[in-house]
């Protein structure tokens, strides 16, 4: 299939062979997930799902620093609990669509996948990461909690105790840690080998028939977090965002980022 590219600013969509490559394109903001980017990602995700020529959907980040540093804190600043819940629900719906997509979704991480960025990667069916990548859900250190499904999906792949340690301490995980836990599709790769590793995985995934692939994904979707659990997480995260402590943490992080 011909390489077809669309660029709407915050997202780059490319069709290469049987793969749709969706690139988060806010490198100056470490590909932070603002509403515009989430809207574009949803639109291009649905386009890729509807395109019969697309067999695999690849989600990656622009630049060499980050897959995504998470939710855009500027959008969280000043939110009350109702507004925060609407924003979180929007993100959760998109991530659940990625998780339940009828075609394999692959997160390709080179650099940071923190907060909502890590939650996005966890929502994908498969994950490839470079040796310089780092992962974490540090929201608790800001007086917040993960709100895009991270409390559920991280516990599912790491186990309850290790997931709690990561979330409660804000500690980082390396690509090697994820590979050892069986979370990544292959061992951590060198940055200059990433494109080839992605191409190899796409080729392997396309060996199965579309019908069989769809059936496997449908069967395994029974293990996805329940809607009730996700809604509970979103409600708790919304309360944390609107609290004085949460808003203080957001402002402190924004001030720290402004000095860089």
* 137-181 confidence digits (pLDDT tens): 999 999 999 999 999 999 999 999 999 999 999 999 999 999 999
Compute the average pLDDT of residues 101-119: 98
Domain 4-191+209-258, CATH among 3.40.718.10, 3.90.226.10, 3.40.50.720, 3.40.50.280: 3.90.226.10
* 3 state DSSP class of 49: helix
Give residue 58's pLDDT.
98
Whether the per-residue pLDDT at 10 is higher than 60: the answer is yes
Provide the β-strand partners of residue 16: 19
pLDDT band at 9 (very low <50, low <70, confident <90, very high): confident
Domain spans of the chain? 4-191+209-258
Whether the per-residue pLDDT at 8 is higher than 80: the answer is no
Give residue 66's pLDDT.
97
For residue 125, how many other CB atoms are within 10 A of its CB? Answer: 21
Whether the per-residue pLDDT at 2 is higher than 50: the answer is no
Give residue 222's pLDDT.
84
Tokens of 103: 């075609």
Whether the predicted model's global pTM rises above the 0.85 cut: yes
Give residue 207's pLDDT.
96
Compute the average pLDDT of residues 5-16: 82
Dihedral angle of Cα 202, 27, 176, 160, to the nearest 10 degrees:
-100
Compute the average pLDDT of residues 87-93: 95
Whether the per-residue pLDDT at 118 is higher than 90: the answer is yes
Contact between 107 and 59 under an 8 Å Cβ cutoff? The reply is: yes
CA–CA dist 127, 250 (Å, integer): 29
- Catalytic residue numbers, as ranges: 119, 139
* 3 state DSSP class of 258: helix
pLDDT band at 6 (very low <50, low <70, confident <90, very high): low
Whether the per-residue pLDDT at 1 is higher than 60: the answer is no
* 208-234 confidence digits (pLDDT tens): 999 999 999 999 988 888 889 999 999
Cross-sheet strand order for the sheet of 173-174: 66-68, 112-114, 134-136, 173-174
Contact between 89 and 234 under an 8 Å Cβ cutoff? The reply is: yes
Of the candidate ranges 106-115, 149-158, 219-228, 245-254, the one whose mean pLDDT is the lowest: 219-228
Contact between 42 and 79 under an 8 Å Cβ cutoff? The reply is: no
* 17-56 confidence digits (pLDDT tens): 999 999 999 999 999 999 999 999 999 999 999 999 999 9
pLDDT band at 106 (very low <50, low <70, confident <90, very high): very high
Handedness of CA 168, 137, 258, 131 (dihedral sign): positive
Compute the average pLDDT of residues 90-103: 96
Whether the per-residue pLDDT at 255 is higher than 80: the answer is yes
Give residue 68's pLDDT.
98
Question: Average pLDDT over the chain, rounded to whole?
Answer: 94
Which contacts (CB < 8 Å, 24+ apart) does range 138-142 have?
138/114, 138/170, 139/115, 139/167, 139/237, 139/240, 140/167, 140/168, 140/170, 141/170, 141/249, 142/246, 142/249, 142/250, 142/252, 142/253
CA–CA dist 174, 130 (Å, integer): 9
Whether the per-residue pLDDT at 192 is higher than 70: the answer is yes
Instruction: List b or e across 185-206, with b for residues whose CB sees 16 or more CB atoms inside 10 angstroms.
Output: beebbeeeebeebbeebbeebb
């Amino acid at each position: 299939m011909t390489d077809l590219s669309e660029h709407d600013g915050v997202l780059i969509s490319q069709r290469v062979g049987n793969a749709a490559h969706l690139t988060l394109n806010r490198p100056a903001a470490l590909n932070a997930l603002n509403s515009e980017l989430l809207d574009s990602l949803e639109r291009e995700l649905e386009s890729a799902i509807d395109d019969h020529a697309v067999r695999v959907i690849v989600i990656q980040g622009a630049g060499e620093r980050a897959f995504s540093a998470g939710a855009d804190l500027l959008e969280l600043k000043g939110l009350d609990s109702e507004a925060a819940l609407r924003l979180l629900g929007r993100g959760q719906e998109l991530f659940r669509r990625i998780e339940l997509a009828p075609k394999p979704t692959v997160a390709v991480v080179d650099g940071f996948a923190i907060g909502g960025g890590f939650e996005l990667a966890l929502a994908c069916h498969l994950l490839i990461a470079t040796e310089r990548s780092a992962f974490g859900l540090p929201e608790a250190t800001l007086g917040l909690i993960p709100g895009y499904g991270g409390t559920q999906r991280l516990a599912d792949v790491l186990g309850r105790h290790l997931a709690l340690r990561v979330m409660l301490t804000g500690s980082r995980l390396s690509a090697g840690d994820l590979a050892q836990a069986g979370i990544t599709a292959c061992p951590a790769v060198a940055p200059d080998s990433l494109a080839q590793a992605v191409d190899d995985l796409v080729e392997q995934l396309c060996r199965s028939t579309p019908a069989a692939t769809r059936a496997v994904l449908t069967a395994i979707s029974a293990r996805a977090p329940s809607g009730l659990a996700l809604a509970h997480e979103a409600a708790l995260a919304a309360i944390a965002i609107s609290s004085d402590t949460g808003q203080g943490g957001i402002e402190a992080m924004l001030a720290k980022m402004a000095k860089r």
